[in-house]
Structure 1
């Protein structure tokens, strides 16, 4: 069963998460890794509201990131939109109310997003400032883990806000 979510609500959350990402998140780095709240929202909306909402959320989040980024314009828009769409398409295959499943999915899709970002950036710019192994072990895996751990607190809040059932009580 799909619930409805307003665009205004999504855009408001994305704007608030962008402000958090630019201000507060730098202060909670662990081993130079920080969670990606905007990516977390893209995964949440794709997982619980389907591919079209995931795509739109990813596109909007990516556009916001690209506007404020020194990265190649469009990389974030493309990779977050693809991530949101992919999460939404695959979401019926998962028991998404389980927190363990949520964490695993956030970790997997964070890896997917960051790997896609690295690959697209490498193809477009032809210049890489960091080796793939350094990027993978120094940034992708730690940031994906951190983002998945943060999902344990953010997903239940969002599920409650959008009246999505939580069937698993012990986690």
Structure 2
């Protein structure tokens, strides 16, 4: 049952990211709620469900973003797979460790996304890239504790 509720949460996050968050952005940068959902799913659900939910979140982000279709689906799958593998070796019990993991994943996701765009011919200046990466990482990290608390109390049951 929790899996289906989390699917609804992913859909809501996708809609929020494309609607309401457009009005509360900082320098045209929004937090990545769908990437947060990938991390929460990867740390709290069985691997098959976590990867399925991550792929679903990636498909939604690809649909809503209008960029190269499949890019986020592939990246979210990879992040989910790597987080699941890493969680078998490292304990992610502390919220601070989860926050550090989120920050690293957001930064790496931005770097890889921008490199893909560069190879596709969409040049972005280094200064703009660094600003977007820093602000998005910070903004997403600030939103993460709220989403994590909601997930723990309503979805995961910790």
Given candidates 61, 64, 68, the residue that maps to 1:68 is: 64
Q: Which segments of 5 or more consecutive residues in structure 2 lack a partner in the other structure? A: none
Secondary structure of 2:107's counterpart equals: helix
Deviation at 1:9, TM superposition (A): 2.0
- What corresponds to 1:92 in structure 2? 88
- What corresponds to 1:143 in structure 2? 136
Given candidates 146, 149, 156, the residue that maps to 1:153 is: 146
- What corresponds to 2:79 in structure 1? 83
Structure 2 length-normalised TM = 0.87
Deviation at 1:106, TM superposition (A): 0.8
Answer whether contact 1:17 1:38 (CA < 8 A) is retained: yes
Pairs aligned (count): 157
Deviation at 1:5, TM superposition (A): 4.2
Deviation at 1:132, TM superposition (A): 4.3
1:130 is aligned to 2:142: no
Secondary structure of 2:111's counterpart equals: helix
Bigger share in helix:
2
Deviation at 1:50, TM superposition (A): 4.9
Deviation at 1:96, TM superposition (A): 2.1
Deviations 1:75-108 (A, max 9, x none): 1111111112211221233332322112111111
Deviations 1:5-36 (A, max 9, x none): 42x22321111111111111122222332111
Answer whether contact 2:117 2:123 (CA < 8 A) is retained: no
- What corresponds to 2:5 in structure 1? 9
CA–CA distance in structure 1, aligned partners of residues 8 and 134 of structure 2: 29
CA–CA distance in structure 2, aligned partners of residues 53 and 89 of structure 1: 14
Alignment RMSD (CA, Å): 1.9
Q: Which segments of 5 or more consecutive residues in structure 1 lack a partner in the other structure? A: 165-171
Answer whether contact 2:14 2:64 (CA < 8 A) is retained: no
Deviations 1:27-86 (A, max 9, x none): 222233211111100011112225433322221111112122221111111111111221
Structure 1 length-normalised TM = 0.81
